[in-house]
Chains A and B, each alone.
Chain A
Amino acid sequence: MKNKYSIFSLVKNAFSYHENWEKAWKDPEPKKEYDAVIVGGGGHGLATAYYLAKKHNIKNIAVVEKGWIGGGNTGRNTTIIRSNYLWDASAGLYDHALKIWESLSQELNYNVMFSQRGVMNLAHNLQDVRDLKRRTHANRLNGIDAIYLNTEQVKKFCPIINTSQDIRYPVLGGTLQRRAGTARHDAVAWGYARGADEMGVDIIQNCEVKGIKRNGDSVEGIETTKGFIKTKKVGVVAAGHSSVIANMAGLKLPLESKPLQALVSEPVKPIIDTVVMSNAVHAYVSQSDKGELVIGAGTDDYVSYSQKGSHDIVEGTLNAILELYPIFSRMRMLRQWGGIVDICPDASPIISKTSIKGLYFNCGWGTGGFKATPGSGDLFAHTIANDEPHKLNAAFNLNRFVSGDLVDEHGAAAVAH
């Protein structure tokens, strides 16, 4: 049993100069065999292991991670959380996650700094207005909080936005989901890792998967840089590298991996207390607790695993940001980075069984996976434990690309993919 984090443990550890905190997770060598192995130690993978152990009573689990936990897209995203998706299947999936977010810090005894500061999506042309109104109605029918704002209400909610009608893409209105917001991305990975470790999950870092061993149509184990690990169930949550792992098992996925960039500014005093996203001009911005503006750019249109994107993508995003927020014109940017996102043709994820028994994939989250972390882990754990999808992820199966029953969220996503 781990020591509970609390104000008392903080005070107690202060007396020993914070040098005697218990390790949040162990650093074990892999055992020879596990009941289930999760490939990928990001938020989704660690959450999957956590819920497998907690809700499905599978304790002999390993999470193998080629780098360090939370070092991939979990640590590279812009931490936006919302559930205002158009289609019923997506609304169910993302709102399931949002509901878990609301009590996650308490459940994990780890402050994930979930902040329901609201997410506002802007409309810049007549079609945007129609689309956003339609989405607001769809959201409300699905029990998701959403309101439509006119230009004055947008200005009132976020005064630094330039609502002049003379700019190239004037703000004509917007939607607001007040339950939406942000969370601390590293804390999500660390909190789930700590919780999973406590229930006996082995978190094995610096362990890259090199092959998937099959016996006919079922999985026998995985080859890794730390040797062979025998297991009958492999859950792959490898984000941009999903196709690479699938290829090891002789599968092809409907994914393309592309660089997605983000950047942060120098820290300043509080200036924007919400998240504002704009699809038409592709700009979204929020402010971290440290005071940095967190800005998300778009994806490059070519396949790349290089974890760096093109400069013109950043330039385009900053042009849009400056037109919408002239107040930022003299701010300096501190850091810029890229992550590799796995994009599905319908911009919806895959949480699914495969044609190989015991091999499961959770991928295709594209540019918007962070928000779904807790729900994704919960539903993927259910799928792995029962060898059947939960009703909330049934629509997100691999077979939809054969049946044609796609969940097309291109038009409804808050930013263009």
Chain B
Amino acid sequence: MFLINCPFCGEREQSEFKAGGEAHIVRPKQPTELSDDEWAEYLFMRKNIKGIQFERWNHVHGCRKWFNMVRDTSNDQIKAVYKMGEKPPVK
């Protein structure tokens, strides 16, 4: 359990949020031209990093808006939060 600083609502308990997995996975521009390997990469393969990870979260029991987070998955420390569409802060 930890606190998350929602970029829209401020600091709230993690239980108000839903984790949305790895961030910055770009949806294929031409889905019809993707090979099976590329589909597998897009749909299933994840970095699953132990350490600094970029991920998406949704304040599902609050403003219901999506945003991005930089978090150290080895100790759950949050390094930064930033809005969708913004450039990720440098580590």
Closest residue on chain A to residue B45 by CB atoms: A252
> A390 vs B18: C-alpha distance in the bound complex, in angstroms?
39
> A345 vs B55: C-alpha distance in the bound complex, in angstroms?
17
Q: Does A17 contact B (CB under 8 A)?
A: no
A414 to B: closest C-beta gap in Å: 24
* Residues 17-55 (chain B) with a chain A CB within 8 angstroms: 18-19, 21, 36-37, 39-41, 43-50, 53, 55
A305 and B74 in contact (CB under 8 A), knowing A310-B14, A312-B1, A402-B40? yes
- Number of A residues with CB within 8 Å of any CB on chain B: 25
B18 to A: closest C-beta gap in Å: 6
Q: Chain A residues near B19 (CB, 8 Å)?
A: 300-303
Q: Chain B residues near A256 (CB, 8 Å)?
A: 21, 46, 48
Q: Chain B residues near A253 (CB, 8 Å)?
A: 45-46, 48
Closest residue on chain B to residue A246 by CB atoms: B48
Residue from A243, A302, A310, A401 within 8 A of B47 (CB atoms): A243
Residue from A304, A306, A310 within 8 A of B15 (CB atoms): A310
- Number of B residues with CB within 8 Å of any CB on chain A: 27
> A304 vs B52: C-alpha distance in the bound complex, in angstroms?
11
Closest residue on chain B to residue A399 by CB atoms: B40
Residue from B40, B43, B53 within 8 A of A303 (CB atoms): B53
> A312 vs B13: C-alpha distance in the bound complex, in angstroms?
10
User: Contact string, B68-86, partner A, CB cutoff 8 A, digits 1/0?
Assistant: 0001011110000000000
Q: Chain B residues near A403 (CB, 8 Å)?
A: 36
Contact B76 A304 (CB under 8 A): yes
Q: Does A136 contact B (CB under 8 A)?
A: no
Contact A401 B14 (CB under 8 A): no
B50 to A: closest C-beta gap in Å: 5
User: Contact string, A344-382, partner B, CB cutoff 8 A, digits 1/0?
Assistant: 010000000000000000000000000000000000000
Q: Chain B residues near A18 (CB, 8 Å)?
A: none
User: Contact string, A385-417, partner B, CB cutoff 8 A, digits 1/0?
Assistant: 000000000000000011110000000000000
Q: Does A311 contact B (CB under 8 A)?
A: yes
B47 to A: closest C-beta gap in Å: 7
User: Contact string, A298-319, partner B, CB cutoff 8 A, digits 1/0?
Assistant: 0011111110001110000000
A390 to B: closest C-beta gap in Å: 24
Residue from B18, B49, B50, B76 within 8 A of A301 (CB atoms): B18
Q: Does A255 contact B (CB under 8 A)?
A: yes
Residue from B15, B44, B57 within 8 A of A254 (CB atoms): B44
A218 to B: closest C-beta gap in Å: 21
Contact A310 B1 (CB under 8 A): yes
Q: Does A73 contact B (CB under 8 A)?
A: no
> A56 vs B76: C-alpha distance in the bound complex, in angstroms?
43
Contact A244 B15 (CB under 8 A): no
Q: Chain B residues near A254 (CB, 8 Å)?
A: 40, 44-46
Residue from A255, A310, A312 within 8 A of B48 (CB atoms): A255
* Residues 219-263 (chain A) with a chain B CB within 8 angstroms: 241, 243-244, 247, 252-257
Q: Chain A residues near B39 (CB, 8 Å)?
A: 402
A255 and B46 in contact (CB under 8 A), knowing A301-B19, A303-B73? yes
Q: Chain B residues near A257 (CB, 8 Å)?
A: 48, 50, 73
* Residues 249-300 (chain A) with a chain B CB within 8 angstroms: 252-257, 300
B28 to A: closest C-beta gap in Å: 15
Give A contacts to B, CB under 8 Å: 241, 243-244, 247, 252-257, 300-306, 310-312, 345, 401-404
The contact sample of 23 A-B pairs, CB cut-off 8 A, is: A243-B47, A254-B40, A254-B46, A255-B46, A257-B48, A257-B50, A301-B18, A301-B19, A302-B71, A303-B48, A303-B55, A304-B73, A306-B73, A306-B74, A306-B75, A310-B1, A312-B1, A345-B43, A401-B44, A401-B45, A402-B37, A402-B39, A404-B36
Known: A254-B44, A256-B46, A305-B74. 8 other contacts (CB 8 A): A243-B50, A255-B48, A257-B48, A301-B19, A310-B1, A345-B44, A401-B40, A401-B43
